[in-house]
Amino acid sequence: MAPASVPGPAKPRPAVQRPNPTRLRFALGTGGIAALSALLTAIVAPPSATSPSSPVAIPVAQSTVTQQRPIQYVQLSAGEAPPPGATVIDAKAPKPITIVTTVPAPAQQPVVVRTTQSGTVVP
Amino acid sequence: MIGADRQIQTTRAPREVPPAPIVPVSVATTAMGGRLVVHLAATGEERCARHDAERALSRITRWADRLSRHLDTSELSTLNADPRAVLTVGPTLGIVLRAGLDAVDESGGLVDISMLDARLAAEGSADAPSPGAAPRDWSIALGPCRTAVVHRSPGVRFDLGGVAKGWLADRGLDLLSAWPSAVIDADGDLAVRCAPGQLWAVGLDDPRTDGATLAILHLSVPDGGQPVRWGVATSGTSVHRWRHGDRVHHHLIDPRTSAPAITDVVQATVVCGSALRAEVLAKTAVIAGSADGMARLERAGVQGAVILTEGGETLALPQTLALLAA
């Protein structure tokens, strides 16, 4: 019967060379703060599809009418209140794209054919 | 309101000298509580024109007498007095009721011929219906021998009003196909046909002053073309008005509230391909208000639109400039 082996005294292990964690922690912390700041900026800032108060020229056929219409709007999320004095447009309402022009008063000359509201007595 | 923050410059391109406006032969009568007039360009054929105009008026008047709610004997009054939910009507009333359904679609629901009770309430001759209290569902189907079958919820009664007048103008113009330049005036709703080289001057009534003109349209066709048809119609709140206590009501009912429309438009005139469509769109613009109304007219592709607002502004879609007299 073979004699049971007896472990000898443990050899001393060489000390493991670990990297200094301070620099990595500093880099990760700085990066995290930057990412968080970017996320906050993206959440808080409104979309800027059009810069406020920028005039928009709408071309019209034959260039008979031109229009300078300042567009000012903010996009509201659910539960947000509009700024004081702002006109709130229903998202489902027709978009205000209509161009209108004033009509000069005509010379008051007799016209035989007239369109009127119903019930109007035509002289 | 439109126009408060807009700067608009308008320039007109030089145009050719238009022909002189037609001086027509005109024959008039009354129908559906208003005027009914035929105008024909008939230089040298006045007698023949007068004869044809009178024949056309006779036929149009017979149609109108079936469609008027002002006549107790009209087919419309009979329908409104009948409590049945399903009943058969004649071809003429059937066609105009169907046109009323089309008007609901064309106007996005703002022109509804089943608002008679709300209209009577606005006049003060009936109690106001509660908004949404009773559904105003109704439909119409083809019946035998050109008749039509009306299916309706209890209590639905009809006021054909401008829809009937627009239809009468268009149908009346068909009767006068032998006259290349003719106008049917059905109480302000016009069906117009113009021959090449001729010009109809059409005055837009200014409701603020008796006999005054808000604008003048020139409807003409260049030489060498084919005759062209237009519809020109005007709707507004300043003629049919009633005072009840300290409140003033008008006759244009907003189906969303079953009450007279709250609007900044006093009067709207529309030019397009038919008098019926022009009438429906003009009424739509008044009920919708100036901003929404103009947008709707633009989307509808009208040939012209002029609106008078409560602030006294006269506004038009740009394409109207090509039709306005210089």
Q: Which domain holds residue B101?
A: 75-152
Is the separation of the CB atoms in B128 and B258 below 8 Å? yes
- Percent of chain A scoring above 90 in pLDDT: 4
Do B147 and B251 fall into the same domain?
no
**Four-point Cα dihedral B254, B260, B264, B270, nearest 10:** 60
**How crowded is residue B261: how many other Cβ atoms within 10 Å of its Cβ?**
20
Residue pairs spanning A and B at CB distance below 8 A: 168
Which of B152, B187, B209 delimits the end of a domain?
B152
Work out how many domains chain B is built from and give that number.
2
- Spatial distance between the Cα atoms of A68 and A59, rounded to a whole number of angstroms: 10
Do B188 and B225 fall into the same domain?
yes
Band (pLDDT 50/70/90 cuts) for residue B126 is low
Does pLDDT of B133 surpass 80?
no
| Buried b / exposed e along B52-82 (16+ C-beta atoms within 10 A) | bbeebbeebbebbbbbbbebeebbbbebeee
Verify whether the Cβ–Cβ distance B292 to A94 is below 8 Å.
yes
DSSP B114: T
Sequential DSSP letters for B223-257:
TTS--EEEEEEEEESSSSEEEETTEEEES-EETTT
Do B197 and B278 fall into the same domain?
yes
Is the separation of the CB atoms in A86 and B283 below 8 Å? no
Do B115 and B253 fall into the same domain?
no
Does pLDDT of B215 surpass 60?
yes
Do B183 and B288 fall into the same domain?
yes
Verify whether the Cβ–Cβ distance B8 to A109 is below 8 Å.
no
Verify whether the Cβ–Cβ distance B35 to A122 is below 8 Å.
yes
Question: CB of A60 within 8 Å of any CB in chain B?
Answer: yes
- Over residues B8-21, mean pLDDT: 61
Band (pLDDT 50/70/90 cuts) for residue B160 is very high
- Spatial distance between the Cα atoms of B50 and B236, rounded to a whole number of angstroms: 32
Chain mean pLDDT for chain B: 89
- Over residues B201-217, mean pLDDT: 92
Q: Is residue B10 part of a domain?
A: no
pLDDT of A95 reads 55
Q: Is residue B5 part of a domain?
A: no
Q: Is residue B160 part of a domain?
A: no
pLDDT digits over A1-37, tens only? 444 455 556 666 666 677 777 877 888 888 888 888 8
Question: CB of A108 within 8 Å of any CB in chain B?
Answer: yes
pLDDT digits over B225-238, tens only? 899 999 999 999 98
Question: CB of B30 within 8 Å of any CB in chain A?
Answer: no
pLDDT of B210 reads 87
Verify whether the Cβ–Cβ distance A118 to B165 is below 8 Å.
yes
State the nearest Cα–Cα gap between B11 and chain A, in angstroms: 5
Return the higher-pLDDT residue of B11 and B47.
Answer: B47
Question: CB of A72 within 8 Å of any CB in chain B?
Answer: no
B321 neighbourhood in chain A, CB within 8 Å: 64-65, 101
Does pLDDT of A116 surpass 80?
yes
Band (pLDDT 50/70/90 cuts) for residue B325 is confident
